[in-house]
Amino acid sequence: LDEETLRRCERFGLEHVLAGLSAPPSLRALAKAARALRLSAPPPPPPAALPRVRARKAGQVQALVRLVRTVYPGCRRLVDVGAGTGHLTRALAAALGVEALGIERDPARVEAARALSGSGGPRFEARAVGPGGLELGPDDLAIGLHACGALGDALVRAAVRGGARLLLVNCCLQKVDGVSRTPLSATGRRCGLVLAREALGLSNLSARPRLVEGDHAQWVAVRRTRYALRLLLAERGLAVAVGEEMRGLRRRHARHGLAALAARACARRGLAPPTLAELARAEARARADYGRLRRLSLPRALLGPLLEQAVGLDRACLLEEAGRVVRLKRVFSWELSPRNLAVLAP
């Protein structure tokens, strides 16, 4: 593929561009099947604004507020797991007029949430939620906006145990304990839906449709920087699986270049800071390799949304097996976030 066609495939998805390309029949068949099975997302909303909130996050918050008002009437308490600094918690509490609890494992974020909420606002607790670590009741609505991996599974199990309502938006499925994810539901176990952690990371390869060119260029640069970090850590003798190079880091850290990102990654692992020679070697190899890797990742990216849907369906099946009525749908547009698939259990 030439560079312009590659950019189009990454921005809009291989399945949307393939018709005009010379490609093997097997790849065309895969793209056709992936496009048929992929759940569609709603159109982009008008620009949203919330104080101290980035526009994309504000759009996600407002989309969930509208959804909760429509689909979840009558709940008496809101429990927001992974609440961060509480923007969604506050917006939902105000919209529903109910008691709200935000749970966040980062104490600094909890302090920020409390400061932003003031007296009389939602409560916030600093703690991690593991298996069996969350008590919910039938009058609760449990929310997880981008609850990653094992946290999402724990939230589904807690909703089943307590009979709570649930709104869970998937994120970072590869963040599981161990080398694979075991299905939650009897249906998933019958289907053999055991997924390796590396395979789960494919859900992060979802194409970013309709990105403007500047955003796409940054997206490519960030991914190349992450690849260079993995090469640098491998040179240090660390066997790092795809995606694990960012353990303990945030995606935005990769925007500041390899030197800053590698310094953070080495510090998190108790390693000496990267040398200039190490950085130069990693960057040179990443430049040489990454064009080929971008092209090879296109068919893998076809499978990302389907893999995410498979995990969502497993979670939905566990709820259905407990007698719940469940929907799986994309709740906001790709522009707001490619992590937009939700399990809804009113």
Summarize pLDDT for 114-172 with one digit per residue, the tens: 999 988 889 999 999 988 889 999 999 999 999 999 999 999 999 999 999 999 999 98
For 124-138, 199-213, 217-231, 299-313, which range has the lowest pLDDT when averaged over its residues? 199-213
Burial class (CB in 10 A: 0-12, 13-18, 19+), 336: buried
pLDDT value, residue 211: 55
| Interatomic CA distance for residues 81 and 224, integer angstroms | 32
- Whole-Å CA distances, 142 to 54, 220, 306, 308, 315: 24, 35, 25, 20, 14
- Three-state DSSP string of 57-86: HHHHHHHHHHHHHHHCCCCCEEEEECCCCC
Return the top range by mean pLDDT from 38-42, 141-145, 199-203: 141-145
**Are 184 and 279 spatial neighbours (Cβ–Cβ below 8 Å)?**
no
- Report the C-alpha gap between 345 and 322 in whole angstroms: 11
Whether the pLDDT of residue 208 is over 80: the answer is no
Three-state DSSP state, 134: coil
- pLDDT on residue 108: 96
180-181 and 123-126 beta bridge pairing: unpaired
Compute the distance between CA of residue 242 and CA of residue 163 in angstroms, rounded to an integer: 37
Q: Decide if 88 contacts 61 (C-beta within 8 A).
A: yes
Q: Span 322-335, mean pLDDT?
A: 94
- With a cut of 90, say whether residue 238 has pLDDT above it: yes
Q: Is 325 exposed, middle or buried (0-12, 13-18, 19+ CB in 10 A)?
A: exposed
* Residue 214 pLDDT exceeds 80: no
CA distance 98 to 177: 34
Q: 149 with 174: CB under 8 angstroms?
A: yes
- pLDDT reported for residue 344: 98
Is the pLDDT at 212 greater than 60? The verdict is no
CA distance 341 to 329: 6
Residue type at 151 in one-letter notation: L
Distance separating alpha carbons of residues 318 and 30, to the nearest angstrom: 29
